[in-house]
Structure 1
Amino acid sequence: MVSRLFSSIPSVTRKLLIANVAVFLLQSIAGASEATRAWPLWFELWPWVPAPYEVDGPGFMPWQLLTSGFMHGGLGHLVFNMLALVMFGSSIEYEWGARRYAIYYVVCLLGSALLQLAAATYAIYQGQLILTLGASGAIYGLLLAYGVMFPNRKVTLLPFPIVLKARTLVIVYALASLFYGVFTTGTGVAHFAHLGGMLVGWLLIRWWRSHPPRGGSGGPRRDPRAEALRARRKASKLRLVK
């Protein structure tokens, strides 16, 4: 049963799920030994530290823009993000196909990291050192795309048992991230990464809609491979009914 459910997750979403879990396991292994405990710090997102400020650690490295998006601060953090990845990402990948979906995910991840980098660098001047890790920025980009593509679908607002339309959920999370990012500090949540993922995702969708492929009518087009994925998904459901 579990293997059937896992195999029903489309290819890119499944690979992202595996990658995030694998990296979390490596983090846990490294953290268990005194000799390797500091290794993960090289892959979390550090702020850019201008002179004359100094930090005790590796500081910002370009690869952190990508690697930090596959790391998590705890099991709960990982589980929440992976549930959202499967919930939103699967539907988007079935609609767009693997290639466009993968591009969108990576662009949202990098965009969220860049905005968070700017926010964390600004925080240096306020006497705060903020390190960032987690897939939440890319997940918020997926939430934005889901709300654009399926605005009237009903979604449960986590962690509260409240059911909202997808477009309403997007607005609620965006406003909450903006409020907490601007007016609060020390929450332990990368609100600007969330906003960055949404903003970059929105810009990319607008770009695709205004620059359709030759012969297209605007917006992300359905990939033939996505059609095949949806067909296999329906066939899988029929087999389960038997």
Structure 2
Amino acid sequence: MTTNLLIIAITCVVSFLGFSNAQLVDRLILWPPAVEKGQYYRLLSHGLIHADTTHLFFNMFTLFFFGRYMEPLYADILGPFGFALFYVSAIVVASLPSYLANRENASYRSLGASGAVSAVMFAFILIQPWATIYVYVVPVPAIVYAVLFVAYSFYMERRQTDHINHSAHLWGAAYGILFTIVAEPRVIGVFLEQIVHPHFGL
């Protein structure tokens, strides 16, 4: 089993357990007062639980397709645990700004792997900017999707009219790009070369 599939399997198991076990969710969710008391594991564990099956499905479906392309890259650069290092660190980094902004907000809670999934997706877009991403059934070039995704996330983060952590999406996306560039600086040249020579599809 690949690391990507193992992450998906573990996340699905823990999330499904959480759907019928509120106490488990309470122990794993990102809740600033608990982190302030030393429960730092919540910065990671919140990525193992989800609000509902739809939330879980979209995150794991996205991770499945993008993760299978990115895992070999990180394995070549960082070794067999490279993708796991990237994914786990992305969960923490994507959630840190939200946590720091809500350290004194006892009503704030956050859960889900969306930040890390955004990191994987944007790392893929850095490598394959002209790949086709399907938004429902509409084919969109990956680089165009990235621009729309960032614009939408910024807009929704400012409005704060839903219960989605758009900040985690944005920070996860930025981390995915930066981590990949630091791990393999040559991807910058590859990205620029592809941008000036568009070709659609993988």
TM-score (normalised: structure 1): 0.69
Q: Does structure 1 retain, via aligned residues, the 8 Å contact 2:35–2:42?
A: no
How many pairs were matched up? 182
Q: How far apart, in 2, do the equivalents of 1:69 and 1:131 lie?
A: 12
Matching of residues 150-229 of structure 1 within 5 Å = 150-157=128-135, 160-182=136-158, 184-210=159-185, 218-219=186-187
Match of 1:20 among 11, 14, 36: 11
Match of 1:87 in 2: 65
Q: Give SS of 2:140's match.
A: strand
Deviations 1:14-61, CA, capped at 9 Å, x for gaps: 10111011101221342xxxxxx334212100125xxxxxxxxx5652
Deviation at 1:198, TM superposition (A): 1.1
Deviations 1:109-132, CA, capped at 9 Å, x for gaps: 11111122123337x3xxx82210
Q: How far apart, in 2, do the equivalents of 1:96 and 1:67 lie?
A: 23
1:106 aligns with 2:113: no
Q: Does structure 1 retain, via aligned residues, the 8 Å contact 2:126–2:187?
A: no
Q: How far apart, in 2, do the equivalents of 1:78 and 1:136 lie?
A: 9
Q: Does structure 1 retain, via aligned residues, the 8 Å contact 2:90–2:119?
A: yes
Q: Does structure 2 retain, via aligned residues, the 8 Å contact 1:109–1:137?
A: yes
The 1:27/1:120 distance shift into structure 2, 3 A limit, reads same
Q: Does structure 2 retain, via aligned residues, the 8 Å contact 1:107–1:201?
A: no
Deviations 1:36-95, CA, capped at 9 Å, x for gaps: x334212100125xxxxxxxxx56521100100111000110111110010111111133
Q: Which has the higher helix share?
A: 2
Q: How far apart, in 1, do the equivalents of 2:15 and 2:88 lie?
A: 19
Amino acid at match of 1:80: F
Greater C-alpha radius of gyration: 1
Q: Does structure 2 retain, via aligned residues, the 8 Å contact 1:108–1:198?
A: no
Q: Does structure 1 retain, via aligned residues, the 8 Å contact 2:31–2:42?
A: yes
Amino acid at match of 2:50: H
The 1:163/1:90 distance shift into structure 2, 3 A limit, reads same
Quote the sequence identity (%): 22
Q: Give unpaired runs (5+ residues) of structure 1.
A: 1-9, 31-36, 49-57, 211-217, 221-242
Q: Give SS of 2:184's match.
A: helix
Amino acid at match of 1:207: V
Q: How far apart, in 2, do the equivalents of 1:197 and 1:38 lie?
A: 27
Q: How far apart, in 1, do the equivalents of 2:27 and 2:132 lie?
A: 40
Match of 2:23 among 38, 51, 68: 38
Q: Give SS of 1:156's match.
A: strand
Moved over 4 A (4+): none
Amino acid at match of 2:7: L
Q: Give SS of 1:134's match.
A: coil
Q: Does structure 2 retain, via aligned residues, the 8 Å contact 1:143–1:170?
A: no
Q: How far apart, in 1, do the equivalents of 2:128 and 2:147 lie?
A: 14
